[in-house]
């Protein structure tokens, strides 16, 4: 009953937070490994080199990523998707904070406010998230999947994805960031439902039920593999065409929104929520969105003291402040560690990160 649900909810919450920490760290480890290779003059990943396979830091990053994804997968078995998915944003925050520490990439004022907003939004979401765990067995999952509301939703997702891929893709895919990211997000909402079902199947398997004989588990597994392949393919396309700092926040917002819609329809997580919890969940989500947006959109904008209101500029008469304002312009740029790295090689770095996502 209530107590069991409470522990499940907190287990899911803990796993989701751990997952963000691991995934955020993995980006930094991989990037650090790639930078070490380029310093030794090996062929860069962006130019088709595979030297990173001999770099232990890169493998540590990969391992971290694996642990993070596994924790995330497990979190869905315990906590509602409406809670687990938005917390994924914290991995962006972890990597932003760590890269300012370990990669000397400056986090400007916008970035710091963005981090703060994401943390606040996550806190609000956790407080108001739906607590009910509606589905506890594969049978009840099967019942939910037969729900006409969900079937209509799934058909809409598939049809719109096909239209985006075959009709909109060739025409607008190169110029509009939304085309491929929408495909990822729509399909992603279905893959989260598969993950949720598989998590429940694993939970039942460990408690000794004959899950392997049930076809539903296998169907979900096959669907998950297909969904994830489509997602990775189109996310890489988007990252290849557009800048990472544009794709990441847009993808996060669309993906989370579609997951929340899907779980609202499939698990009816919102049915038992009082109005202030619904408002709280949505406000928390929008706060995270604005935080992520600030963190990414203004990532390379120099923030000079000239932008401050006049009453805050008084301190600029001392020599240190004027020295700072000259230096600040460069400091806030996302600078590569090595002066020899030009912009093109940096984007190769970002593409490589994208491929490993």
Say how many CA atoms lie within 13 Å of 351 toward its Cβ: 16
Q: Domain for residue 309, yes or no?
A: no
Q: Domain for residue 31, yes or no?
A: no
Cβ-based neighbour number of residue 292 at 10 Å: 26
Q: Domain for residue 3, yes or no?
A: no
The answer on pLDDT for 213 being more than 70 is yes
pLDDT 10s digits, 152-191: 999 999 999 999 999 998 888 888 888 999 999 999 999 9
The boundaries of the domain holding residue 177 are 75-300
Q: Domain for residue 115, yes or no?
A: yes
pLDDT 10s digits, 78-116: 888 888 888 888 888 888 888 888 777 777 788 888 888
Q: Domain for residue 100, yes or no?
A: yes
Q: Domain for residue 306, yes or no?
A: no
Please tell me the total count of domains within the chain. 1
Task: Provide DSSP, 257-326.
Answer: HHHHHHHHHHS-TTTT--HHHHHHHHHHHHHHHHHHHHHHHTTT----GGGS-GGG-GGGGSHHHHHHHH
Q: Domain for residue 1, yes or no?
A: no
Q: Domain for residue 317, yes or no?
A: no
């Amino acid at each position: 009953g209530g107590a069991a649900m409470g522990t499940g909810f907190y287990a899911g919450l803990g796993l989701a937070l751990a997952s963000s920490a691991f995934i955020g760290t993995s980006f930094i480890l991989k990037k650090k490994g790639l930078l070490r290779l380029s310093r030794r003059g090996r062929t860069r990943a962006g130019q088709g080199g595979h030297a990173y396979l001999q770099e232990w830091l890169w493998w540590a990053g990969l391992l971290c990523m694996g642990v993070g994804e596994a924790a995330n997968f497990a979190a869905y078995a315990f906590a509602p998707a409406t809670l687990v998915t938005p917390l994924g944003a914290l991995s962006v925050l972890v990597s932003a904070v760590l890269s300012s520490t370990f990669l000397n990439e400056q986090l400007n004022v916008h970035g710091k406010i963005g981090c703060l907003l994401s943390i606040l939004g996550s806190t609000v979401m956790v407080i108001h998230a739906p607590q009910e765990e509606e589905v506890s067995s594969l049978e009840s999952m099967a019942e939910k999947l037969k729900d006409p509301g969900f079937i209509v939703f799934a058909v809409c997702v598939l049809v719109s994805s096909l239209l985006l891929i075959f009709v909109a893709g060739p025409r607008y895919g190169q110029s509009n960031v939304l085309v491929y990211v929408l495909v990822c997000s729509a399909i992603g909402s279905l893959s989260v439902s598969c993950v949720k079902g598989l998590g429940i199947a694993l939970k039942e398997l460990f408690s000794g039920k004959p899950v392997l004989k049930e076809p539903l588990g296998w169907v979900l597994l096959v669907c998950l593999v297909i969904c994830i392949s489509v997602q990775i393919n189109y996310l890489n396309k988007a990252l290849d065409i557009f800048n990472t700092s544009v794709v990441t926040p847009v993808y996060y917002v669309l993906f989370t929104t579609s997951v929340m819609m899907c779980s609202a329809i499939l698990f009816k997580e919102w049915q038992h929520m009082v109005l202030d919890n619904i408002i709280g969940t949505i406000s928390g989500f929008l706060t995270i969105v604005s935080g992520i947006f600030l963190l990414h959109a203004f990532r390379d904008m120099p923030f000079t003291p000239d932008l401050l209101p006049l009453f805050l500029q008084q301190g600029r008469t001392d020599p240190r402040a004027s020295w700072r304002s000259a230096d600040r312009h460069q400091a806030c740029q996302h600078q590569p560690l090595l002066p020899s790295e030009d912009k093109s090689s940096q984007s190769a770095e970002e593409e490589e990160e994208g491929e490993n996502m």
